[in-house]
Structure 1
Amino acid sequence: MINSKLKTPLLALSLSAALVACGQGPQQQDASTESTKEKGMQQMQKPVVYQVFTRLFGNTNTTNEPWGTLEQNGVGKFADFSDAALEGIKELGVTHIWYTGVLHHAMVTDYSDFGLPSDDPDVVKGRAGSPYAIKDYYNVNPDLASKPADRLREFEELIERTHKHGMKVIIDIVPNHVARDYHSISKPQGITDFGANDDTSVAYKRDNNFYYVAGEDFIVPQDANYQVLGGQSHPLADGKFAESPAKWTGNGARKAQPDINDWYETVKINYGVKPDGSYDFPRLPDNYAELDYRAHYAFWQEQELPDSWYKFRDITQYWLEKGVDGFRYDMAEMVPVEFWSFLNSSIKMSNPDAFLLAEVYNPELYRPYIHLGKMDYLYDKVGFYDSLKAIIQGKAEASELLATHQEVVDIEQHMLHFLENHDEQRLASPDFAGDMRWGKPAMTVSTLIGRSPSMLYFGQTVGEDGSEEPGFGDPTRTSIFDYIGVPAHQQWMNGGKFDGGALNDEQRALRQFYIDLMALNSLPAIVAGELIPVPNSAPHAVISFERRLGEQRIVVVANFGKHPVFVDIEPEEAMVGKTLLGTDPLYLEKKIPIKLPYQGVSVFQMGVQVDEY
């Protein structure tokens, strides 16, 4: 019932646009009607998120010394997102840029001249630091500024440039934890730091911001196989960090000395969840799953809530006022759903169009976090991404993906699809696919199978394989902890021209494929059409389906086999097709024979007249 309510307005708009797109509308329209049509078609485009690790994007240094300093390995800046760079991103059909690692987090680099001394490397991962160990929510990473004293202004200018190029800005919010040495020097008047008013004599109190190991001092974790900064000397690298009493670690570890595999660089935020797991705040009535954000907002105005709730409300409102258009929430499932109802309804009251994306991996929480927590989008990782990866690696049959997609069919428009992000192995890495060309069938199906938004990770479209040995980070994933250059991406950067001039022919062809594919996100049948499985003669290797809205029919066929395949597909009606992407279909009988190369795809529109073909 909830799903039908959500999709009805979009489908009505989509059907109208589909009739125009399929030639059903009037032959001539006045300027006003044309303007309305253009606006409607802009609204029709499915969201495409471009995740960029901000620190690495503009770095032209190719040294890549393990555990290298900023001076050795270089670092990208806000200013590197020039007009040319942003146009290159926009060319991929991007609607939102997720600038990862913007907020000021713990790092080893010393900015004492600006009142920002080095953090203790004993509680920092990597030399550049984790973007998810935030130490000041009211300012940005000084690494990213050409002039560190002007870092906030430089980010505000980047927001303006991004908007000028027709894209919106997303940044991370990490409500589950903060850096172990959180301290804001930029907080507005009237704002207090996390933990400033805590009663540290007890493990838990509702309005404490942290949990405590009362009476015990923090002890730095030890491991014989790990050396801080790779064994390089540093005046603070002494195996000690002063914290008394010790706080619970970000992943919930409750010992004064966490394990080396715990999130020891962070401390967990208290939202009024008692140590026994019971809640110290009001619960939402079940019927609120069917109510909009305004009703949720009104509900919370009458409640007395834990202090941490208000702190994060103030943080998000601060960034909305700076022009940020949305947030990606790290490990959202580790924070109670009631808090998300409170926070997201507050955000939507300020900006109803804010883009709210959450990292949630427990399928049992998907629907509560969407309907009660008022999330716009969740990662479709455990279902869709994991299934797609298994198919690419030959561990599952292609036909299984449609069944996986059906498991979230009632919420599929809320489930963001991706092949890469900062947590996952690069597609071209040997441990994943080992070949960047697998992006063709994988991203085609990921993008076109449903109404879900898509996400691209920087470097993905030119075959970045994550093979560099940066220090703390592991190969196969582009490091988020170290100062490095990103080789394939640097070829597209071409020394700051952002014109792809240093790409090879294969990389150029792959990027063009992504451009052509993401352009299909404006087709009404792809934005809002019905998914219809299409039988084929090789279901173990080939996925085929149709997206239909009104008279527009888009058929997608993708080969996940290890060899070329000649496959018959059986759409409901025999019609002529016009190729939109990939291999040309042959002429149609009731069965359509298509020859798909290795990693090949065919996307075509049914119902085109023969003289148009």
Structure 2
Amino acid sequence: MQSSRPPFRHFLPGALALACLLIGLFGGFAYSRIAYAAGPAISKATRSPAGYVVTSDHVTIQFDVTAGSSGQVLYTTNNWSSSATVAATKIGTDGGNDVLQVSMPTEATSTWVQYAVNATNAGSTSWWTDSDPNDDNNNEMYVVERQATHRVYQLFVRTYGATGSGKSNTGTFNAITVTDINNIKGLGFDTIWLTGVMQQETNSGFGAKGSAGSPYAIVDNWNVSSDLGTMNDFTALVQRIHSAGLKVMIDFVGNHTAREYHSTNAGSNAFSNNNYVWVHSDGSLGNDGSGSLAWGNDSHVFPCGTNDWTDTAMLDYHGNNADSTNASSTYAKENQLVAFWQGKGVDGFRADFAHGIPSDFWSYLIANSHARNANVYWIAEAYDNDCYVNGGTWRTGSHINALFAAGFDGVYDKGNYDQVRNILTQNWWANGITAHRNSDINGYGRGAQYLVEFTSNHDEVQAASNEYWGGGNNCSGTVDCNNMLYTKPPTATALLEGSNILMYNGHEVGEPANGSDDFNGNDGKTSIFEYVNMPQMTAFRNGSLDNRSLALRGYYGRLVNLAAQSAFSSGEDFYEDVSSENTSLGDDFNHWLYLFTRANGSNHYIVIANYDRTAAKTYTVHLSSNGWQKLGVANNSTSYTFTDRLNTQDENGNAITPYVITTTGTQLWQNGLTFTIPANTAFVLQ
């Protein structure tokens, strides 16, 4: 067991008797680990399905206990609005253990189910610590399907509206006009993630990075950055975005603050010394304000071997700071912070470094945010293979499954980003996309359908950078270079594979981020630490963007608008990996081609991508009978026409005739689909 606190923390008055029972079993809110008497060990506890469930799902919980034990599951719905137990049934044996299984009742949409496993043997009792031991409670949670999917445009305010380098030319809230917002809407996005909203650290004495400071080293999370304008300017921008029919997202940075933290609006909700992790002189850790502040990724806390977040201080989610009934706890203060920004009109939050924070905190925070706005949207920046998840001496973070179970609507799919980028830069094979889906994504259950797909964000290189995506090509370094064209196929496959998608400002116009504009040097990124602009974005906004870049923007507009179609935007659509069914076509096919289908009702598509930069490909592929049925193709002489909806202009913006395939259903079912696709091209056939 990881904690002596009760397994369910968020009490309502009607649960008082049960709360007392649990406290009797577990003790109070103490730091020490509980010492259990000998009892039946519980192991191999699993839930099926994993991740999200829907109202029609038959949820089963299975676990092993020592021989002779009996078991049950104690569960509550919607944060103690009800509670009950379900008896377990023995279904077999596993070595010397009994295998017990529980069938959970179906629940309505929007229901949150928390549960803990209980087994008894000769009067002894043991509770199972949930399947993700990296959180800090003794319960598991699942959420019945309730979230929408979103197409998110990340707008870094400081650079998006900038007119040149230097603080006097920085972007502001007021610089983002109705025209800008409508241009983003026209691209097909429904949400604008305003990045860098809160007051960042600018004092080099406290480790500020660059001339402007990191937007993730926040001095005052209850106020906006003075570089960008006033709170009134911010709320006016929110209103402009809402008036255009779009939603507003901002960052929630829960893992850390700037080392120089002070808030003008927080009042008693401001963080105090006891809300932080402190490193004592003997190397031990605490939240007593004694010693030195741990950095946001301090190696004293996590064995990651990195300690470069020298401008940040780590917040504590342990012991008393995890008691949401205590107004001075980190839990309670963060909840009030989210309420504050929701009150300013914010519709959603992108949780920075979400995997570095225990999932039971996210369960608490997200549930409370939904109580204020049922449609609030949460996405998590999280990576399962990060050392912050897999080890640590003080607290560890949350696996992706735990984040989905805690209520996140989407979680970053960094594995897919790495795969599609490295096909271009490291000569990886396109069939690695299938391998990623099979090895990584399948482990997330239904949550896999809500991973956030991207080929750009502020942490990654700009897609058109000639140092990275372009590799060793003959790009001259000017803004009108072929690098921005090479990222079209991977962006298409990535954004059309997922139901939640994200694009970073500048990607759509081929922003190359070439040259050294960053204290990190020429890293292929538009700096988030300096007062700089994006020349391509500046050119677009003032009407001087070249035709090739305008054509690229038109391509991405068609792509994102296609992603809005129900076949791609529905989390419960049909998906078939055509590539994996045609591996016998040989190495050239497996190296360069990736194909899949997606369908929702009568809305259906075949996506074909050729990653080879130089050679066209001609192949005949076979789909399963189920695939043809989902695509509405009958096995008869009916004629079917498939038309590419993505490539309707050439690289200079001139109209072209889209690629078309016309054939019969009999031909498709019996002989397959024959196509020819040019080099460096993606088709979206409807």
Q: Shorter chain as normaliser: what TM range? A: 0.7 to 0.9
Match for residue 454 of structure 2? Answer: 418
Separation in 2 of the partners of 1:517 and 1:361? 26
Change (3 A) 1:281 1:318: closer
Change (3 A) 1:569 1:455: farther
Asked if the contact 2:188/2:564 (under 8 Å) is kept, the reply is: no
Please state how far the C-alpha of 1:182 moved relative to its aligned partner.
0.3
Q: Is 2:601 aligned against 1:522?
A: no
Aligned pairs for 1:505-584 (under 5 A) are 505-528=547-570, 529-535=573-579, 537=585, 538-572=589-623, 573=628, 575-582=640-647, 584=659
Change (3 A) 1:489 1:550: same
Please state how far the C-alpha of 1:576 moved relative to its aligned partner.
2.7
Match for residue 163 of structure 1? Answer: 242
Separation in 2 of the partners of 1:562 and 1:214? 56
Match for residue 327 of structure 1? Answer: 349
Match for residue 212 of structure 1? Answer: 278
Asked if the contact 1:468/1:478 (under 8 Å) is kept, the reply is: no
Which residue identity lines up with residue 533 of structure 1 in the other structure? D
1:19-45 C-alpha deviation (Å, 9 max, x unpaired) = xxxxxxxxxxxxxxxxxxxxxxxx999
Which residue identity lines up with residue 314 of structure 2 in the other structure? K
Change (3 A) 1:281 1:78: closer
Asked if the contact 1:46/1:522 (under 8 Å) is kept, the reply is: no
Q: Is 2:178 aligned against 1:178?
A: no
Aligned pairs for 1:407-556 (under 5 A) are 407-409=440-442, 410=445, 411-434=447-470, 435-450=483-498, 452-475=499-522, 476-494=524-542, 501-528=543-570, 529-535=573-579, 537=585, 538-556=589-607
Please state how far the C-alpha of 1:159 moved relative to its aligned partner.
0.5
1:409-468 C-alpha deviation (Å, 9 max, x unpaired) = 422222100001110111111332121112321121112224x21111000011111114
Which residue identity lines up with residue 642 of structure 2 in the other structure? G
Asked if the contact 1:47/1:453 (under 8 Å) is kept, the reply is: yes
Which residue identity lines up with residue 456 of structure 2 in the other structure? E
| Stretch moving more, 398-407 or 566-575 | 566-575
Please state how far the C-alpha of 1:80 moved relative to its aligned partner.
1.1
Structure 1 counterpart SS, 2:527: coil
Asked if the contact 2:617/2:679 (under 8 Å) is kept, the reply is: no
Separation in 1 of the partners of 2:292 and 2:540? 46
Asked if the contact 2:486/2:613 (under 8 Å) is kept, the reply is: no
Match for residue 136 of structure 1? Answer: 220
Unaligned runs of 5+ in 1: 11-42, 108-118, 146-150, 199-207, 217-242, 273-278, 283-299, 495-500, 606-613
Separation in 2 of the partners of 1:513 and 1:470? 28
Separation in 1 of the partners of 2:56 and 2:237? 34
Alignment match of 1:376 (pick from 392, 399, 409): 409
Separation in 1 of the partners of 2:315 and 2:353? 12
Match for residue 88 of structure 1? Answer: 183
Match for residue 610 of structure 1? Answer: none
Separation in 2 of the partners of 1:351 and 1:368? 22
Separation in 2 of the partners of 1:182 and 1:209? 12
Aligned pairs for 1:378-393 (under 5 A) are 378-381=411-414, 383-393=415-425
Q: Is 2:82 aligned against 1:48?
A: no
Which residue identity lines up with residue 459 of structure 1 in the other structure? G
Structure 1 counterpart SS, 2:645: strand
Structure 2 counterpart SS, 1:539: helix
Change (3 A) 1:591 1:209: same
Please state how far the C-alpha of 1:125 moved relative to its aligned partner.
0.7
Change (3 A) 1:122 1:548: closer
Asked if the contact 1:180/1:266 (under 8 Å) is kept, the reply is: yes
Alignment match of 2:192 (pick from 48, 73, 97): 97
Please state how far the C-alpha of 1:504 moved relative to its aligned partner.
1.4
Structure 2 counterpart SS, 1:391: helix
C-alpha RMSD over aligned residues: 2.8
Change (3 A) 1:260 1:394: closer
Separation in 2 of the partners of 1:154 and 1:306? 31
Asked if the contact 1:171/1:328 (under 8 Å) is kept, the reply is: yes
Which residue identity lines up with residue 352 of structure 1 in the other structure? A
Alignment match of 1:353 (pick from 334, 357, 375): 375
Alignment match of 1:592 (pick from 665, 670, 673): 673
Separation in 2 of the partners of 1:214 and 1:563? 59
Separation in 2 of the partners of 1:374 and 1:211? 26
Change (3 A) 1:266 1:4: closer
Change (3 A) 1:355 1:265: same
Match for residue 193 of structure 1? Answer: 270
Change (3 A) 1:305 1:193: closer
User: Which structure exhibits the higher relative contact order, with contacts defined as CA atoms closer than 8 Å and separated by 6 or more residues?
Assistant: 1
Between structure 1 and structure 2, the one with the greater Rg is: 2
Separation in 2 of the partners of 1:49 and 1:597? 30
Separation in 1 of the partners of 2:258 and 2:359? 23
Asked if the contact 1:547/1:554 (under 8 Å) is kept, the reply is: yes
TM-score, normalisation: structure 2: 0.65
Q: How many residues align?
A: 475
Please state how far the C-alpha of 1:334 moved relative to its aligned partner.
1.2
Asked if the contact 2:359/2:403 (under 8 Å) is kept, the reply is: yes
Please state how far the C-alpha of 1:563 moved relative to its aligned partner.
1.7
| Stretch moving more, 357-366 or 318-327 | 357-366
More strand by share: 2
| Stretch moving more, 589-598 or 340-349 | 589-598
Match for residue 604 of structure 1? Answer: 685
Separation in 2 of the partners of 1:545 and 1:603? 10
More helix by share: 1
Separation in 2 of the partners of 1:321 and 1:430? 43
Separation in 1 of the partners of 2:401 and 2:159? 35
Identical amino acids, percent of aligned pairs = 30
Separation in 2 of the partners of 1:315 and 1:550? 41
Asked if the contact 2:210/2:529 (under 8 Å) is kept, the reply is: yes
Structure 2 counterpart SS, 1:554: strand
Asked if the contact 2:594/2:610 (under 8 Å) is kept, the reply is: yes
Structure 1 counterpart SS, 2:646: strand
Please state how far the C-alpha of 1:211 moved relative to its aligned partner.
2.5
TM-score, normalisation: structure 1: 0.72
Please state how far the C-alpha of 1:570 moved relative to its aligned partner.
2.2
Please state how far the C-alpha of 1:3 moved relative to its aligned partner.
6.0
Separation in 2 of the partners of 1:555 and 1:532? 9
Q: Is 2:392 aligned against 1:317?
A: no
Structure 2 counterpart SS, 1:360: coil
Please state how far the C-alpha of 1:342 moved relative to its aligned partner.
1.0
Match for residue 43 of structure 2? Answer: none
Structure 2 counterpart SS, 1:169: strand
Change (3 A) 1:551 1:569: farther
Which residue identity lines up with residue 240 of structure 2 in the other structure? R
Please state how far the C-alpha of 1:281 moved relative to its aligned partner.
7.7
Aligned pairs for 1:234-313 (under 5 A) are 245-254=291-300, 261-272=307-318, 307-313=329-335
